[in-house]
Amino acid sequence: MRFLLMRRPPSYSDSFLFISPRHTLNYEEELLELGVPLAEPTVPLAEPTVPLAEPTVPLAEPTVPGAEPESWSQWTLCFIFKGSFHILCISVFETSFYFLYVNRSEDAGIFSTINTYYQPLVEGCSTRWANGTKWLVDELFMYAVNKTRVDAEAITAYNARAAYNNTLILQSSLYSVVCLAVCIGIAIIYVVQKWKVNWGPMFLEHILFIGLLAAYEFFFYTTIIYKYTTLSTAELNKYIVDGLASCAMASQ
């Protein structure tokens, strides 16, 4: 025999509101039938009466060293100033580096090539030369070669070469003076117009760049260019012997 246990439906005192399945899609009507009023918002949401405060203090613009000016004229003048100052530094370095170091090393290289023939000849004249050879050399300088005239021509050629190279130094220095004049002129315009420029960081940046360039160029010259192998003695011997041989064959 089976007993059917009946459970009582939940009451409203149990804080449980039972809605039958048939009214699940229209629960508002069922609430009205049960006498439960539907709550409606009676107080509207308050609108903000105080407007948001606008920022009264402008944001400070970043002060970056060497920052470009805003106007087109300032940007153009700043660009010309930087370029002229950069070329000025390069011109001063190149002039000093070449005329004080490179040209002297080139002269030393030429003398080193000549000494391949000259030094053994001079060092052995007193010990290895025969009397007949010495007599021929004396006759050569007495009748064919005028040592006084050769010395005078050499001094004249040296002075002409020095004067020509000095004009090149002046020409290179003129390039530097022009760049310096441009920089000074633009700096005067900035001062008169009261435009703000961070001169210190700008000069320091370019000087550091030129210093790095100078260090690399000196390193490249001493490790690559100066060690470059030029014509060897054997190649020069072949050149001289071929010329003399062609003269001997032409005389036959």
Q: pLDDT tens across 218-230, in order?
A: 899 888 888 888 7
- Tracing tokens 């040592």 back to the chain, one arrives at 147
Distance (Å, whole) CA 26 – CA 38: 13
Give me the mean pLDDT over the 192-204 stretch.
Answer: 85
Question: Is the pLDDT reported for residue 178 higher than 60?
Answer: yes
Question: Is the pLDDT reported for residue 15 higher than 80?
Answer: no
Q: Identify the CA nearest to 213 among candidates 86, 85, 84, 104.
A: 86
- How many other C-beta atoms can be found within 10 angstroms of the C-beta atom of residue 81? 21
The pLDDT, as a whole number, for residue 140 is 80
The pLDDT, as a whole number, for residue 156 is 94
Q: pLDDT tens across 32-66, in order?
A: 666 656 555 555 555 556 555 565 655 555 444 44
pTM, entire model: 0.57
What value does the CA radius of gyration of the chain take, rounded to a whole number of Å?
49
Q: Which two tokens stand for residue 193?
A: 């117009």
Task: Tell me the residue length of the chain.
Answer: 252
Distance (Å, whole) CA 132 – CA 137: 9
Q: Which two tokens stand for residue 70?
A: 């805003």
- How many other C-beta atoms can be found within 10 angstroms of the C-beta atom of residue 135? 11
Q: Which of 23-32, 47-56, 92-101, 112-121 is modeled with the greatest confidence?
A: 92-101
